[in-house]
Each structure stands twice: as C-alpha cells, then as structure tokens.
Amino acid sequence: MTNPVMLQHGKTKSAIRELFEYGLRQAAIVGKENVYDYSLGNPSVPAPAEIADTIRELMSMEPLALHGYTPASGAKEAREAVAADLRRRTGDDIGPENLFFTCGAAPALISVMRALAVEGAEILLLAPYFSEYPVFASTNGLKPVVVPADTSDFQLHADQVEPYITPSTQAVIVNSPNNPSGVVYNRKALEELGALLTRKSAEIGHPIYIIADEPYRELTYDGEDAPYIPAIYPNTVICYSYSKSLSMPGERIGYVCVPNCAADSAELYAAVAGAARSLGHVCAPSLMQRVISLSTKLRPDIASYDRNRMRLYMELSDMGYRCVKPRGAFYMLVEAPDGDSEGFSEKAKELNLLLVPADGFGCPGFVRLSTCVSYDMILRSLPAFRKLMASYQK
C-alpha cells in the first residue's frame, strides 16, 4: 500500500507541466517554430560565462576535497563568502552561522516550514502565490491559509491580510519579486505588513515569521529594488536560490538565511538544520557551493528579460488585453477577457499559444505567461494573440 496523499501528488501533473508536455507533442506535428510556449519558468539567459570558467578552474582541485561531503550547513568558506556579500549589500550582521546551504529554494522553503510546524500551525499564502506552496505546506505540517489577491494592483495590502491571522498563524510567505505576477512589493506595503505582524505577534503571544522567498531578488526593472525585509520586520527568514539569478536551476543550489534579528534566531536555525536532516539533506552539491563562493559579485544580465517584458506588455495591452505590468521576475499575468481562465487557456491552445491558467497560483480569471522565452518567439506569437482577442470580440 502507498500513502494516498503522496500517490495523489505524484500522479497529478501541474498545469504548467501538462502544457509544456503538450507543447512538445504539438511541436512534433506543426513544427517547433509554430508553437508559442509561455509555460515554463526556465531561464532563457545563459549562466554568466564566469560560471563555466570557475567550474573549469575548480576541476584542477584535489578531487577528494572537491567532491567530498561538506558540513550539512555548507562549507565554512562558502558560507563566509556569501555572508560577506550579504553584509556588503544589506548592512546586516550576517555571518556563516546564519546561512544554511540547500539544494535550491524549494528545499529551503520546506525546511523552514517544517521547522515552524508546531501542532495546528497555519501559514498564510498571499495570492497570487507560487503554485507549489500549498503542497509544500500541507505535506510538511502546516495548514495553508490563502489571502486572496487584490487584482486591482496585485500589491500586498496589510489590512487585507489581517482577517486571516489567527492564534495558530506561524508564518507568512512573502514572494517578491513575485511569481506569477512580476509585482515587486513596495517598502510602504512591507512596512504596513511588518507593523501588523508586530501587533498580532504581541496579541497572540508568539512571533509570526515572514518567510521571504526570494529567488528573483536581483531580477527587477524600471529602477525598482526589492527591499531587504529583515530591516523592515526582524522576524524574517530568507530562502534564496541561484536558479534564476544565475540561470542555474538544474544545479540545485540556494540557502536559508536566519538573521540574528529574527526571534529565537539560533534555535530556529537549529530547527531548520533538523528539518533538513529529516528530509534526507546531507549537504548541498559541494562543487556548486564552491562555484557560488567564487561568484558572489556576479549579477544577472536582465536586458533581454526586460526587452521581452516590455514588448509583450505593450503589444498585448495595445490589443486590448488587461495585463499586470511586471516590475520584476520573468512572468506576467493577463486577464481572461471573459473571466474564464481555463477556457481562455484552451482557446489559446488551439492557436498553439501555451498560457497557464493562474487558478493554481490562487488567481482565477488570469493566465500566467513566462516571459523568459526567445524574443523571436514573442514576435512570431503576436498574430496568434491578435486572433485570440478577435475571437472574444465577435
């Protein structure tokens, strides 16, 4: 017999995967150039050339040292290098003892969730949210509680979060720049959330943590900057990944950062380590830890993402679609003209346009476009978008 919940999660594919696989089948029939796949959030900018150079250099290292286990939290020198970079960028007193290397943001998030999963605990998901959060939370001891999206601006509004806080609330996930909206939460919104959580934590008698899920931290446009949340609300734990910022999603490297300012920082860090251990974490890939420690000054080349974002936003808005202007990450939400996102995605599919219904992101009525695609594909897809809109105007 198998665990029915695990069986269910293993058998059901995400809407994203379904569409992506459909796209591959369709490409074999109509030709790759005639399928416009906006489904996957796989970076379309290659990793910086320095990454390959660093890997080549590291290959001359003594192999036992290079490929051996590191401590579970990561090699001390690697954590020190990342901590030094974080100190420079944030002014916070981050040291190696605050960092725990993980195999990307997903296990970082799960380790923090598990560390906070006391009996009856709840976690707030601010819609629209990354579609894996409900699975991560519910299978790791936290009840996910969804705060609906404010579709007027997709910003974070503390007054709309307040009714969902209960004495069982342990954490709120804040994902900015956001997948799927591309919205960057502004300082005022974060300050208001911080003030609310400070007040509510005092009322309920235990800290409510912000889990800052930040794989897109460096991917911002229009001079926008994602504020450093622990400086606004101290009870914050950061989950970071190099999957998107350095285009290394397959290399599985990221970290949890529990800053000193977070309540019970040392205890929480130890619980994160324990949670990771319970998940079979031994250490993050040692080669990648070294690569990252030598690459802390690298920043993503966002020019092509920016060009894609602006072109799509302008073209689709001109055609009459209501789009949410992205200021970060590489996604954009587009409203279904008749409010039916599933139907919209189906109609689009008939034109070989692969748009993911955002229902799974807690945002029905919208579809998500990944804008990390080739510019050429965007240009080729425009007639299909035009046709799609025309089909609603009949």
Binding site for ligand PLP (CB under 6 A): 41, 104-106, 130, 175, 179, 213, 215, 241, 243, 249, 254
Tokens of 91: 């002014």
Q: By the 8 A CB rule, do 333 and 152 touch?
A: no
Dist. CA 360–CA 18, nearest whole Å: 13
Separation of alpha carbons 353 and 186, rounded Å: 32
Minimum CB separation of residue 254 from ligand PLP in Å reads 5
Considering beta carbons, is residue 215 or 360 the nearer one to ligand PLP?
Answer: 215
Shortest spacing between CB 217 and ligand PLP, in angstroms:
11
Neighbouring C-beta atoms of residue 201, cutoff 10 Å: 18
20-28's contacts with Cβ under 8 Å and 24+ in sequence apart are 20/354, 22/349, 22/354, 23/354, 26/352
**Minimum distance from residue 357 beta carbon to ligand PLP (Å):** 17
CA distance 270 to 69: 20
Q: C-beta of 244: minimal distance to ligand PLP in Å?
A: 7
Considering the complex, what minimum distance in angstroms separates the CB of residue 249 from ligand PLP? 5
In whole angstroms, how close is the CB of 41 to ligand PLP at the nearest point? 5
355 or 388, CB closer to ligand PLP? 355
Of 254 and 362, nearer to ligand PLP (C-beta) is 254
Strand, helix or coil for residue 280: coil
Q: In this complex, which beta carbon is closest to ligand PLP, that of residue 26 or of residue 131?
A: 131
User: Residue 209: beta bridge partners?
Assistant: 171
Query: Closer CB to ligand PLP, residue 82 or residue 105?
Result: 105
**Cβ count within 10 A of residue 252:** 18
Radius of gyration, alpha carbons of the chain? 21
d(CA 134, CA 157): 21
170 or 243: CB nearest ligand PLP: 243
Cβ proximity to ligand PLP, 41 vs 182, nearer residue: 41
Query: Minimum CB separation from ligand PLP for residue 131, in Å?
Result: 9
Minimum CB–partner distance for residue 79 and ligand PLP (Å): 18
- What is d(CA 360, CA 134) in angstroms, rounded to the nearest whole number? 10
Minimum CB–partner distance for residue 149 and ligand PLP (Å): 15
C-alpha torsion angle, residues 16, 20, 26, 31 (rounded to 10): 140
- 135 versus 389: smaller Cβ distance to ligand PLP: 135
Instruction: Give the phi and the psi of residue 78 in degrees, each rounded to 5.
Output: -70, -45
H/E segment holding residue 255: strand 254-257
Residue 271 in 3-state DSSP?
helix
Question: Which residue, 372, 360, 362, 355, is CA-closest to 321?
Answer: 355
When the beta carbons of 105 and 288 are compared against ligand PLP, the nearer one is: 105
